[in-house]
Chain A
């Protein structure tokens, strides 16, 4: 055996270290997605929010997705060929309007008041890759200085609201929530993070990390490597790896802090997409968002994106693990298990 190893070293290269595996525990079914809309308590009549979406040249932007929302309502419309949209049947109240269109920066209009007048205008001018100016009820709304996280996040492996996670103080700001999250993340080794704006809040994404099948983070340096660690030479795992590709499990955790219900798309996240979240986001929460008072009903939701390497050849080709792709072939951890095994559950002081 020693001869074999020596010969191999002579022939080709060096030997590296090892990490073992443990079986993953069984998985309870994920919770159903939250409802898309509900009626706010202040409603006493209904009205229409409408407007026109144009680009910087004043040309209409057709096909833009317009989401009108507040703490209890979320309605979506699409602009027509003239760039016009209208969302009807909205209970009276104050709304935010989010406009998303391919090729343009995401725009948000806040403070759209719908009262006895029964209609409100919210026009938007979108710009490609730059800032934009949005008129809402005569007020100019400054653009968000950091990239926006998808309002409808891609499908995650698991997710869980964390209602017990509260920021200190009687009237916490979004920055207080950030401090709770980021200090917990720092304590368990997630020093690289990416911040995104999110309607009425923000999103925080961790760096992609390699984990054991039971959800524990791997020790460094394997933790933040996209290649599975090499087991000890002549260990059972090593011998198995001679003829069978080694599996690697990877994870990205996204915390979304908002008072809105979050509806995911049915498209699974890709590993490239999730791995790019920390670098694509801001390094810190800008003061504009950080100092914002938290609306009633704000909560933190954790989204877990777990991937498995599907081929030995290309470590960047990772497949999202979800109930659809696994089809019961192996157990899938739930969000709480992921947070517990990563140490975040305890670091966040969750019961």
Chain B
């Protein structure tokens, strides 16, 4: 194996681990807070902010993993290690911002409605950042090569 590259399969696994553990932690904190009445009347508004920030990406990752779950060597491509690092760093950075926005609620604003306002304002910079992260992940999870490999393998499996 070329030391400057990493297998697509391995990178997918690492990114999936980052996203599933990160979003799992975020969702756990959010569910606990919601059940304890932390957000009270703003609960719906907080979830309306959160879900579009993580669910599309998590959904794509899970669906790709599901499509290749029963197939051996579904993605045979190689990815440059530098790109893998960028994709992983972007993912971690993005998820930490989302998590920090929730965990540091008390420091951001003691007043929940004001905090929710700031959450919605954060879409101004989270939106573009989410676009960059999604572009990087799309190469890994939704690339034509990966899809072709998956389709070919699924087809041969039948």
Binding site for B on A (CB under 8 A): 3-5, 7-16, 227-231, 233, 238, 241-246, 311-315
Chain A residues with Cβ under 8 A from B125's Cβ? 11
> Could you list some 12 contacts between A and B, CB below 8 A?
A3-B96, A4-B99, A7-B97, A9-B104, A11-B97, A12-B104, A12-B119, A230-B110, A242-B33, A242-B106, A243-B32, A311-B37
Given A8-B103, A15-B104, A243-B36, 12 more A-B residue pairs with CB atoms under 8 Å apart are A4-B99, A12-B108, A12-B115, A12-B122, A13-B118, A230-B110, A233-B104, A242-B105, A242-B106, A243-B29, A246-B106, A313-B42
B13 at interface by CB-CB < 8 Å:
no
Interface of A is mostly: loop
Interface of B is mostly: helix
CB distance from A315 to the nearest CB of B (A): 7
CB distance from A314 to the nearest CB of B (A): 7
Select A312's contact among B29, B37, B93, B102, beta carbons within 8 Å.
B37
CB distance from B13 to the nearest CB of A (A): 24
Select A8's contact among B41, B42, B101, beta carbons within 8 Å.
B101
Q: Which residue of B lies closest to A239 (CB)?
A: B103
Chain B residues with Cβ under 8 A from A10's Cβ? 97
Select B106's contact among A3, A230, A311, beta carbons within 8 Å.
A230
B111:A227 contact, CB within 8 angstroms: yes
B100 at interface by CB-CB < 8 Å:
yes
CB distance from B54 to the nearest CB of A (A): 14
Q: How far is the CA of A231 from the CA of B104 in the complex (A)?
A: 11
Chain A residues with Cβ under 8 A from B40's Cβ? 245, 311-314
A8:B108 contact, CB within 8 angstroms: yes
Q: How far is the CA of A227 from the CA of B109 in the complex (A)?
A: 10
Contact A230 B36, CB 8 Å, known A8-B101, A11-B97, A11-B122: no
A315:B111 contact, CB within 8 angstroms: yes
Query: How many residues does chain B have at the interface if contact means C-beta atoms less than 8 Å apart?
Result: 34
Chain A residues with Cβ under 8 A from B113's Cβ? 313
CB distance from B94 to the nearest CB of A (A): 10
Chain A residues with Cβ under 8 A from B41's Cβ? 311, 313-314
The 7 closest A-B CB pairs, nearest first, are A8-B100, A313-B40, A8-B104, A243-B32, A13-B108, A227-B110, A15-B107
Contact A231 B106, CB 8 Å, known A12-B119, A242-B29, A245-B38: yes
Q: How far is the CA of A231 from the CA of B106 in the complex (A)?
A: 8
CB distance from B110 to the nearest CB of A (A): 4
Chain B residues with Cβ under 8 A from A231's Cβ? 106
